[in-house]
Structure 1
């Protein structure tokens, strides 16, 4: 758990990401309300935001990354000198992402200052800006596509570039959205390849509110899926664009104000090599009494079809104001079954009976697993309230193995508590259990295996062997368990019962064998016309995951 003392009221945990280069692993955390010291004639403190890197094994060991180290820029014109930018409340770190060695952080509320023509007045416009660190955090660059001469809300003055962003895995190109451009029609920009803006009929659509990149057509270049949550008469829609900004497909929302596309990810969930889409609608309501419960729509693409045909699977939040779908992230293959999983937060049911708004809620994380067009919920829920955290799950980052055990981990932000939780995925146990009896064939006419001279009880030795890969587990052996208790036919000699429980710690990738003797009694021929079963269920001694 990371909750540094210096991070009070900084929204530490508003955004999170994992970073791994060579043998070093870090948790990156955005804190967009962090104050910075600046010199403007005198030393002042300005709330500009920051990004921290934290060690995964040492709580509260966080260090500020060198984003935006320079002072505010000055410009001289024929009227005099003025600051050409204003970084107060720019929200640096509200957008944070990583791709291999590239770290990208954005300040969508960064203000570009220009003097109005012929007047001693200034325009303060939230053009937004982004920064990258490359080459093991040694190379710093700024990217501000809307900081140009196209001032005004009717052009790119209110762009808020960096509200959402992505980094190409192919060529490290940057994808930056500006949902406030062109009367809030919105726009998306591939670095050095500007897009066209939205059409005039789509004012106030907020195109670019959320963004992800993946392969949707048959070329080698990455395409993008972009949301417009206020388009379509405020029902929202998502659009899939090719790498050259050609519209490939559109999926409409179906409820006014649900904010369809507030969050989204593109990922192959069922291993058919076709990209699926997961879309969050946190303001979705079922009726007037169950509002803002939230919804997550999973669109499974049918690869057999020639076009964009999707099977829609819908998941709902549990109660009002839970806003399920506010954040969604790719977990990767967390249980080694070959399928990707996703995580989504929600405010689950509890016994308090108190309805809380999201900012004050004690949220939970649940795991969602998609296999062959079906949605499964893994039986583990992590409650932020168990750790005293509010807004637990507002930000998520997964899919990266930080501790080196070959399984992806999860990072969860709780900005109202100025905290971040690092959830390690423990190794998955693969077991092979083999049982065999001695003698292999039970012959009741033979006298070799009778336990007593009166020939009333027959003894059989059986051996059970376990092969597994890592960790300790509990074995529970049951012989003839489902037989009527008054007619039990077999008992373990050790416990004089049909049940035997043992805890064992096994060596990895080695077969370990044990033997037990079972006594079979009252073996009249008519009594054994049904199968006698030996059952060896097993379970872990420890939980699969921990918060650290």
Structure 2
């Protein structure tokens, strides 16, 4: 019953139709089945071979294939430690055999000797320096030969002992590691920066197809750089152990040119290829080519981008690719951003390189797109070569990316066919996945080339193999009807299990909503009441599978979003448990196949035929105050009027209030019971605090709401003169969704209320004083006359603080050369500094008690730094002066002179207070008083007269009583009767 009851309230129904047609193509194994040719050009990223080297060795800085003896790879680790004596981080090259079990790598011992010494004047001197030489920074192979270089290797000449030159050196392993020879063409007598002292020979290297070595030395001749080439057979013949300088037959090298070409870095990257049309690779004819030819080409490249490293990488192809990984372009904000770029030069004729358009530009800022380029051969069998291009710092977490681009007649496709992301998190340095690349070799002998990717930041090299099998599919998805009416409640849900057809698909309802925080699935499958459907099935060649499913819209109360479409996503993939082929590879989907199909259904709204609601939102705001005071909590009520005057409802309408940093939200003002019950929530986003209050979903046309919000503004500072609340109505409508922003500003005000109070103790002084006598020798303060104390209290009722106030006290000390008051002492409570123009206790009389006294001198102004302060002034009234009644009047004035704020107050508080002490003269009353003896005599006389009066009355019988009955007998006769009556 519960389920049926729920169904009866569930509106809307759509029918979902899924169509999938799949084709499995296996080269050479399904020849009896008519099928199109399969294209295998995806890398198997699920099962790569991962080689790891010593931690921190930069294993993977350089990589290459080595197929002479067995299928293997060679990997450079330029910061690896070796067994060379007294050599630190000399660098190494590792040999890594390939197999499905991924055998361990081991170091190739090109050079077992440590730093070498030479005798000069019978003294041994160190000649070369192999620590930190970066051996293995460059690694190349050709046949049974491996070339490995140390571009930072240094040596010193005999004629200039104190200095060493970073000439660089290389080693060749020939005949499958049976012989090792050194090749250091920059270690010559032409030393230091003028010659080849900073050559760094081997910074880049390559082999021609017939085995000639081509080295780049970008530091020669004040960094003009040079390219050097020699046949490996001649290098082997010229090698003699112990000889530092060699003479290699047939060696060719570029020469020094004019100084204007300094800092050109020729040789930063080298490659060989056929450019002249004479079937001779350019690397074999360098000496015969004028140096100006190289520089004119470089200048042409440099003019393309003044911000990139150019050229950085060139690729061995008949056509030429040039990488500029630091190429910068202006972003959407107009600022330069480093994106990286690769330029493609198509060879239209001998030495005729024409720049192809458009250029390949990176999509990741600081990704260094174009750092490395590797030819891959013709992967997709279309007659055009394909390449891999790296962005070693690209990706969301800068883990590194490698892009596969397919070639065609116009150069390279704009979009990559595959993107491989690094899977290792970086430590102190980036993982640099893709810093080195090598391709165009078939390591596993499956007929398709493979790719090696170096990630020296995590000391790894990864081998990716190309798959043989591809899976071509086509699919379609239909959602009907496209518009769901929530009012049509015709859905019936029955309880029980439903048998689902078997097909390998995944269907997600509200597929885009699952990415939203806290989003509710608005549609569910009718039979399972779930938002997803998973099925699997084996599909034969050419078979078509079709399925229909019903979905329903949930009740409107269960979700908020009524505007955005309900997206239905249909995803399909291959069975991951499918058997691998003989090479351990599994089939994959053709990368050009769309395996995700998405359709949508719209919810019908009350917005006319076009189903588009266009609200017109208006907002007005008033507050119960215009000012806020520094130092106060500043309670504030903002009353807003929200209206929708448009032709349609505003969906998920909310009042959005941005709170200033000084304010806090308290709650909703509920003074008017007729108002609706507002629901508000408080949140923070990007350090912006805001309040959102629901106004309706929808807030229908013609709606007018009047509500109040309560705030406090306790954190007011004097850095801003105003505080601003920004309010806006926001809805999720596509058109005219927001109202204008209404700003409510409050002025920051400095204000303090000061109260000055004063009192006299005693409130009256009576004269003449008791037992006082006139004297000319004053010893104590009592000799002056009666005491009086004036107490003044200053109170700052705020709310703002006061830093400096001036209190001035005027009291009458003299009148017509007669003394009135004699100040004895001042005492204070609070941070008060006092000065006076009259000396306190000028006669140095002995005071009656001791109290805390402020030192007063100079003027009669009392200066305060205070919040609440009390001043007590104790004085004596000169008794010899007064002979009649008099009123002593003291006047205290205060004025605030400074408040501790950058904002000035509108007015500074000031005021005054009078304290009066009446002098009352009592001498006449004392003269008319009756002496004590007279009083005693009067009392005695009165007692005597009273006794005489009593005696006279007694004599006249006044005290005698009359008897009411005649005789005693009569009394006796009356008693019984009286008793009975009682």
Q: Calculate the TM-score normalised by the size of structure 2.
A: 0.40
| Worse-superposed segment, 193-202 or 160-169 | 193-202
Q: Distance in 1 between matches of 2:120 and 2:305?
A: 51
What is aligned with 1:379?
417
2:98 is aligned to 56
Name the CA distance, whole Å, in 2 between partners of 1:426 and 1:26.
Answer: 19
Alpha-carbon distance in 2 for matches of 1:186, 1:306: 22
Return 176-185 or 72-81, whichever deviates more: 72-81
Q: What is the CA-CA distance between 1:166 and the residue it aligns to? A: 1.2
User: Residue 171 of structure 2 corresponds to which residue in structure 1?
Assistant: 131
1:152 maps onto 2:192 in alignment: yes
CA displacement at 1:516 relative to structure 2: 9.1
Shift of 1:243: 6.4
Is contact 1:32-1:94 (8 Å) kept? Answer: yes
* Equivalent residue runs for 1:405-424 within 5 Å: 405-424=446-465
State yes or no: 1:294 paired with 2:340.
Answer: yes
1:503 aligns with 2:538: yes
The structure 1 residue matched to 2:467, chosen from 426, 438, 441, is 426
Provide Cα deviations, 1:111-151, integer angstroms capped at 9, x if missing partner. 0122445xxx4221100011111212222111100111111
Match of 2:269 in 1: 210
In 2, distance between residues paired with 1:207 and 1:163? 11
> Where does residue 151 of structure 2 map in the other structure?
108
**Residue 123 of structure 1 aligns to a residue in which SS?**
coil
Match of 1:469 in 2: none
Question: How far does residue 56 in structure 1 lie from its aligned partner after superposition?
Answer: 2.0
Q: Say if 2:346 and 2:353, in contact at 8 Å, map to a contact too.
A: no
**Equivalent pair of 1:222/1:242 in contact (CA under 8 Å):** no
Quote the residue 2:259 is aligned against: 200
2:345–2:354 CA contact under 8 A, matched in 1: no
8 A contact 1:105–1:130 mirrored in 2: yes
Q: Residue in 1 aligned with 2:437?
A: 396
Gap change, CA 1:385 and 1:515, over 3 Å in 2: closer
1:413-439 superposed Cα distances (whole Å, 9 cap, x missing partner): 11110111110111155xxxxxxxxxx
Question: Please, which of 13, 21, 24 is the counterpart of residue 60 of structure 2?
Answer: 13
1:92 is aligned to 135
Partner of 2:216: 177
Query: Structure 1 residues 517, 317: closer, same or farther in 2, change over 3 A?
Result: closer
| CA apart distance, 1:15 | 0.7
Q: Distance in 2 between matches of 1:102 and 1:428?
A: 34
Match of 1:77 in 2: 120
Q: Which residue of 2 aligns with 1:245?
A: 289
Counterpart position of 1:328:
373
- Once residues 208 and 424 of structure 2 are traced to their aligned partners in structure 1, the CA distance between those partners, rounded to angstroms, is 38
Distance 1:391 1:88, change over 3 A: same
1:368 aligns with 2:382: no
Listed as ranges, the gaps of 5+ residues in structure 2 are 1-48, 231-250, 483-500, 506-534, 547-571, 576-585, 590-982
Residues 387 and 21 from structure 1, CA distance in 2 versus in 1: closer, same or farther, beyond 3 angstroms? Answer: farther
Q: Report deviation, 1:218.
A: 2.2
**Contact 2:391/2:401 (<8 A) preserved:** yes
Match of 2:227 in 1: 188
Structure 1: stretches of 5+ with no match in the other structure = 226-240, 268-274, 355-360, 430-472, 487-494, 506-512, 519-537
Distance 1:208 1:194 in 2: 11
Give me the whole-angstrom Cα distance separating, in 2, the residues matched to 1:69 and 1:496.
Answer: 65
Cα distance in 1 for partners of 2:205, 2:82 equals 24
Judge conservation of contact 2:253–2:286 (CA < 8 Å) in 1: no
Answer yes or no: is the 8 Å Cα contact 2:138–2:203 preserved in 1.
Answer: yes
* Residue 391 to residue 308, structure 1, CA distance change in 2 (3 Å): closer
- Tell me how far apart the structure 2 counterparts of residues 166 and 185 of structure 1 sit (CA, whole Å): 20
Contact 1:115–1:122 (CA under 8 A) maintained in structure 2? no
| 2:87/2:114 contact within 8 Å kept | no
Return closer, same or farther for 1:393/1:306 CA change in 2, 3 Å cut-off: closer
Alpha-carbon deviations, 1:167-187, whole Å to 9, x = none? 1112x1111111100111111
Query: 1:467-478 maps to which residues of 2 (within 5 A)?
Result: 473=471
SS at structure 2 position matched to 1:321: coil
The higher radius of gyration belongs to 2
